[in-house]
Amino acid sequence: MSEPVLALENVTAGYGRMTILNGTTFSVPRGGITTVIGPNGAGKSTVFKTIFGMLPARAGRIGFEGRDITNLPPRDLLAAGICYIPQGRNIFPQLSVRHNIELGAVTAARRLDDLPRRIERAFERFPALREKASVQASTLSGGQQKQLEIARGLLLDPKLILIDEPSIGLSPKLVQETFAALQELRAAGVTILLIEQNARSALEISDHALVLELGQARIFGPAKEILHDPRVAELFLGGLAHD
Amino acid sequence: MSTFSTLIVGGLATGAIYAVVAIGFALLWQASQTINFAQGEFVMLPAFFALIAMGMGAPYWLAALVTIGMSVVILGAMFKQMLVDPMIKHGVLPMAIATMALAIFMKESVKDLYSAEAYPFPSLVPDRNLAILGANISLQHIGIIVTAIGAIIGLTLLLERTSIGRQMQATAQNPTVARLLGIPVERMILLTFVINAVLVSIASLLVTPIYLAKFSSGETLGLAAFIAAIIGGFNQLRGAIIGGFLLGVVDNLAAAYISTQYRSAVPLFILIAVILFRPHGIAGRKEERTV
Ligand SMILES: Nc1ncnc2c1ncn2[C@@H]1O[C@H](COP(=O)(O)OP(=O)(O)OP(=O)(O)O)[C@@H](O)[C@H]1O
Ligand SMILES: [Mg+2]
């Protein structure tokens, strides 16, 4: 494995007195899609929040491209080239779609003179958003809202995307579209760390997989192998091994 | 007919002031879940800053600038840092109760430190009447309407047309996501308090020439602004504007045609009617176009 793009070493984090990540260690290779799977409450979302400075790491080290990024605020992580798309709806409902997207670049507004071009590119990627550019974001469908979040996240050309359960609540067709967008990004050289409830379909498009259990990284390997690993199939893939 | 238009203009003037105060009230609620029951006293106090400045020989325009400056520091930044930040951790209700205590503290302080008397206050526009199409229109009322609408337009342009304004809106609508995008959330909230301080000092300069500067003069105004914000839908600035103007006009007409005795009950009647028929407020619709 070449130099990993992201590496967690013995990271400890939690909520209040509760410790969820207790010495979590794993690394994510550059390029490709790495899917994180694990039972509910395993701490998958907590890992993302800790990487992105929304939850303090109490111990350990988080490295990005060899640089220590432990507990840096979102502003610095965005500048470093990381973007985080949390679970659920993360839009500003009463702002227009265009203004929602633009806010993805507030931290860089002064040095981005090509913002209009970047927004244009976002609309090329997601034509449905262009049609609704001047409409309140609350009027978008669930899938379009996810597209908006992805478009917003791509505005600063991130090198690493952390995306938490993008398919939740979407129709199968929209899940397909979202996964296709992630595959396109991979083709463009972006590293994607994906959490998916829909583990089987996610693993099918992934290069690597990481199994997280009780805040610990249990298994790391090629997605194909994990998909066919009997232990994993039984535990997390719902035993639907023959569809 | 001529009395009617006089009454309408008078109502619009009162309404314009209600609207300015109600907008500030709604902004604070949106940005920080602060229900400021001292908002009326926030309008009462700046007039005394102006009186002190003018007492020291400052001309009107300088006194007005000093008033806005002192309000920004005391009613904006200090209010946020010293009362809201420590109290909001305990929840919305303790916070609201703390602002009620603040209202009493402000009234008593003005009474003890300045005076319990009512003081006349100079008007921005001379208090003359104009005969327009046979109606007797007060120039002062026109001045109030123009200034208040100017302030509202200025604020709207700031919120809608500038990046800072949209960052403020984003902070109010979803602070967690705003933080994820690197928006300086704390600074945006502080800015909202500063804007409220500017709005209440403008309202103070507009309303005090009519109602005089007195420690208790914020009581009715605070209630009216609160009701205007609720009528309008509480989390919509447009609602606060509509609510403010509506309340001002109906209030004035009711005082003239029904009875001055029932006048103070009118806002409450309107409030009850709105709660019954439009529980989300007049402008409280969910999905709308924005520019
Ligand atoms: N804000 C919070 N405050 C307190 N406890 C929390 C909070 N968020 C999550 N937890 C707890 O932390 C544990 C890990 O949660 P986390 O959201 O990371 O799990 P997950 O692996 O993402 O699960 P899921 O598949 O349900 O999304 C759970 O026990 C959860 O109850
Ligand atoms: Mg989760």
* pLDDT tens-digit readout, A54-84: 999 999 999 999 999 999 999 999 999 999 9
pLDDT at B271: 84
For a mutational test of ligand 1's pocket, the pick from A45, A49, A193, i.e. the residue with the most ligand atoms closer than 8 A to its C-beta, is A45
> What DSSP element (H or E) covers A26?
strand A18-28
Our answer on whether the CB atom of A42 is closer than 6 Å to any ligand 1 atom is yes
pLDDT exceeds cutoff 70 at B113: yes
* pLDDT tens-digit readout, A215-232: 888 888 898 888 888 877
Question: What residue in B sits closest to A48 (Cα-Cα)?
Answer: B180
Our answer on whether the CB atom of A15 is closer than 6 Å to any ligand 1 atom is yes
**Rounded-to-integer distance, Cα B144 and Cα B248, Å:** 13
- What is the position in ligand 1's atom list of the atom closest to the CA of A47? 18
Point out the residue among B183, B289, B290 whose CB comes nearest to the CB of A106: B183
For residue B69, the SS3 value is helix
Let me know if residue B124 belongs to a domain.
yes
- Cα dihedral sign for A190, A191, A196, A200? positive
**Rounded-to-integer distance, Cα B284 and Cα A108, Å:** 34
> What DSSP element (H or E) covers B253?
helix B237-257
pLDDT exceeds cutoff 90 at A190: yes
pLDDT at B285: 53
The answer to whether the CB of B148 falls within 8 A of the CB of B136 is: no
For residue B281, the SS3 value is coil
> What DSSP element (H or E) covers B141?
helix B139-161
Closest ligand to the CA of A86: 2
Chain A positions touching B173 (Cβ under 8 A) are 92-95
Let me know if residue B283 belongs to a domain.
no
Question: What residue in B sits closest to A79 (Cα-Cα)?
Answer: B182
Q: Which two tokens stand for residue A199?
A: 């583990």
Quote the mean pLDDT of chain B: 90
pLDDT exceeds cutoff 60 at A2: yes
Let me know if residue B126 belongs to a domain.
yes
Q: Which two tokens stand for residue B256?
A: 């003239």
**Rounded-to-integer distance, Cα A136 and Cα A195, Å:** 28
pLDDT exceeds cutoff 60 at B288: no
Question: Domain holding B232: CATH number?
Answer: 1.10.3470
Let me know if residue B287 belongs to a domain.
no
Contact B173 A95 (CB under 8 A): yes
Minimum distance, in Å, between the CA of residue B104 and any CA atom of chain A: 36
Looking at residue B128, the DSSP 8-state letter turns out to be -
Terminal-to-terminal C-alpha distance of chain A:
32
Angle value at C-alpha A205, between A199 and A208, nearest 5 degrees: 75
All structural domains of chain A with their residue ranges: 6-94+157-237
Chain B positions touching A75 (Cβ under 8 A) are 182
Q: What confidence tier does A236 reach under pLDDT thresholds 50, 70, 90? A: low
**Rounded-to-integer distance, Cα A119 and Cα A124, Å:** 9
Our answer on whether the CB atom of A40 is closer than 6 Å to any ligand 1 atom is yes
- Cα dihedral sign for B173, B174, B178, B181? negative
Contact B181 A74 (CB under 8 A): yes
Q: How many domains does chain B have?
A: 1
- Cα dihedral sign for A203, A30, A75, A79? negative
pLDDT at A240: 47
pTM (predicted TM-score) = 0.90
For residue A73, the SS3 value is coil
Ligand 1 atom 11: residue of nearest CA? A41
pLDDT at A6: 96
For a mutational test of ligand 1's pocket, the pick from A24, A35, A36, A46, i.e. the residue with the most ligand atoms closer than 8 A to its C-beta, is A46
The answer to whether the CB of A72 falls within 8 A of the CB of A61 is: no
B167 touches chain A (CB under 8 A): yes
pLDDT exceeds cutoff 70 at B108: yes
**Rounded-to-integer distance, Cα B70 and Cα B57, Å:** 17
Q: Where are the beta strands (DSSP E) in B101-204?
A: 129-132, 135-138
Question: What residue in B sits closest to A49 (Cα-Cα)?
Answer: B180
The answer to whether the CB of B65 falls within 8 A of the CB of B226 is: no
Looking at residue B76, the DSSP 8-state letter turns out to be I
* pLDDT tens-digit readout, A27-58: 999 999 999 998 888 999 999 999 999 999 99
In sequence order, the β-bridge partners of residue A194 are A35, A163
Point out the residue among B178, B179, B290 whose CB comes nearest to the CB of A136: B290
Q: Which two tokens stand for residue A154?
A: 């791509």
Q: Which two tokens stand for residue A125?
A: 């990627």
Angle between helix axes B139-161 and B185-211 (nearest 10 degrees) is 170
A141 touches chain B (CB under 8 A): no
Mutation choice for B interface testing from A52, A83, A99 by most B CBs within 10 A: A99
- Cα dihedral sign for A188, A193, A195, A196? positive
B159 touches chain A (CB under 8 A): no
Domain with B47, as residue range(s), is 2-277
Contact A54 B180 (CB under 8 A): yes
pLDDT at A243: 40
Closest ligand to the CA of A36: 1
Q: Where are the beta strands (DSSP E) in B76-198?
A: 129-132, 135-138
Let me know if residue B284 belongs to a domain.
no
* CATH, domain range A6-94+157-237: 3.40.50.300
pLDDT at B119: 94
Q: Which two tokens stand for residue B109?
A: 């302080």
Minimum distance, in Å, between the CA of residue A83 and any CA atom of chain B: 9
Least confident range from A179-188, A232-241, B109-118, B170-179: namely A232-241
- List, in order, residues 6 or more apart from B52 with CB less than 8 Å away: none
Ligand 1 centroid–CA B176 distance in Å is 16
Q: What confidence tier does B61 reach under pLDDT thresholds 50, 70, 90? A: very high
For residue A115, the SS3 value is helix
**Rounded-to-integer distance, Cα A239 and Cα A126, Å:** 35
